[in-house]
Amino acid sequence: MTIPGNLLTTAMAVMPHTDVDQALRAALSLDIPFWPQLPNFNYYEDMYVQAAEHFPGIVLDLEKRTLRFSIVKFAEELEEAMARFDQPEYFDISETYSAVYHRFLAMDFTDRPAIRGQLEGPISFGFNVLDQDERPILFDDTVRPFMLEFMAQRLNVQLERLKQLNPNAFMFVDEPGLQFLFSAMAGYSDLKAKEDLDIFFSQVDRPRGIHLCGNPDWDFLLNLDLDVLSLDIFTNAEIFQAYAKSIKRFIDRGGVIVWGLVPTGTEMFVGEEKSSLINRLESVWGVLLDKGIDRRQLLEHSLLSPATCCLVNTDKEKTVERAFALVKTISAKLREKYDLS
């Protein structure tokens, strides 16, 4: 298992900071650092915009902060994109699209247990980006297969660069849109999503996993061919613990769970403390242990993180950074308690 567990810490990449150095310091303060995405710094830093770089048919308006798609432009640009599929630099994130990524790539991470990157996933990207008819491109049977291949290539190129810095590097595929598969996404079923994600991950190098903050069908996610699953356990504790059988299968085949425990919204954060959050997490673990999951195995396959990202706090980055610090404190407390040194 190249993804470390033992309750080490990491976090989601989207951060409210407008100061690149401050955001990097916060990301580097955790055991498994990552390169931050800073949409408040500029619109290029938006996770959908970063994923859209060089995608044929994209219409980006920086002034209006809109990301759209044109099927006519797609047809005009598709041939060039196909011709450049063997050029890694074409699929990497440029300095224009991330003020942080290339700073991160210049750092030394040889003493870290792992590092992590991320990219918006194809389901969420395809659902969020609308064409000239206000229709998600996810529903377009011409565009979707190309999108799966394109995003897989982008993930692989980034992962290869990160592995040059640390052999235990891994990737999050950010998929907030997956929670909508089981509600009102008419025209695109969970069965079709499973088929497409199986195709997608068959093209994605390991280690790879999904992060989302919502509440999807957890059986659906836990049975995908993933190495890591990152979720908001603060909000979804009671629901997630009901999937003990699938969680056990996921861990038995080597999967790592990132328990998103500490809330990053100001109101929720001030209502919690270290002891209440530890009790919440250990309560979930207790249910899983009662269902036959081995404690030591569970801990060895677990990381800790904040519960979600947050861009809307009135104090901007302050609560988020306090949440990062509390995650580290909780990790140290639990690692001592369970002798995970």
Residue ranges per domain, the chain? Answer: 8-337
CATH of domain 8-337: 3.20.20
Write the CB contacts of 332 (distance below 8 Å, at least 6 apart in sequence): none
Residue 146, token pair as written in the block: 């190309």
Q: pLDDT at residue 290 above 60? A: yes
Each residue's pLDDT tens digit, 318-333: 999 999 999 999 999 9
Which residue in this structure is represented by tokens 């992060």?
211
User: Which of 177-191, 212-226, 235-249 reaches the highest mean pLDDT?
Assistant: 235-249
**What's the mean pLDDT in 194-222?**
93
49-53, 141-145, 215-219: which has the minimum mean pLDDT? 215-219
Q: pLDDT at residue 187 above 80? A: no
106: Cα within 13 Å, side-chain hemisphere:
7
In this structure, are residues 35 and 104 in contact, taking their beta carbons and an 8 Å threshold? yes
**What's the mean pLDDT in 44-69?**
97
Q: Residue 180 has what pLDDT?
A: 75
Residues belonging to the chain: 341
Q: pLDDT at residue 92 above 70? A: yes
In this structure, are residues 78 and 54 in contact, taking their beta carbons and an 8 Å threshold? no
Residue 155's closest CA among 227, 59, 58, 217? 227
Grade residue 182 by pLDDT with cuts at 50, 70 and 90: low
**Calpha distance 109→86 (Å, rounded):** 28
Grade residue 192 by pLDDT with cuts at 50, 70 and 90: confident
Q: Residue 341 has what pLDDT?
A: 76
Backbone CA torsion sign across 41, 47, 48, 53: positive
In this structure, are residues 166 and 3 in contact, taking their beta carbons and an 8 Å threshold? no
Which residue in this structure is represented by tokens 């995650």?
327
Grade residue 185 by pLDDT with cuts at 50, 70 and 90: low
Strands 58-61, 66-69: pairing kind:
antiparallel
**Calpha distance 106→15 (Å, rounded):** 20
Q: pLDDT at residue 222 above 90? A: yes
Each residue's pLDDT tens digit, 111-122: 999 999 999 999
Grade residue 1 by pLDDT with cuts at 50, 70 and 90: low
Each residue's pLDDT tens digit, 3-33: 999 999 999 999 999 999 999 999 999 999 9
**Calpha distance 55→174 (Å, rounded):** 18
**Mean pLDDT of the chain, nearest integer:** 95
Q: For the purposes of burial, counting CB atoms within 10 Å of the CB of 86, is it exposed (0-12), middle (13-18) or buried (19 or more)?
A: exposed
Q: Residue 183 has what pLDDT?
A: 61
Q: Residue 17 has what pLDDT?
A: 97
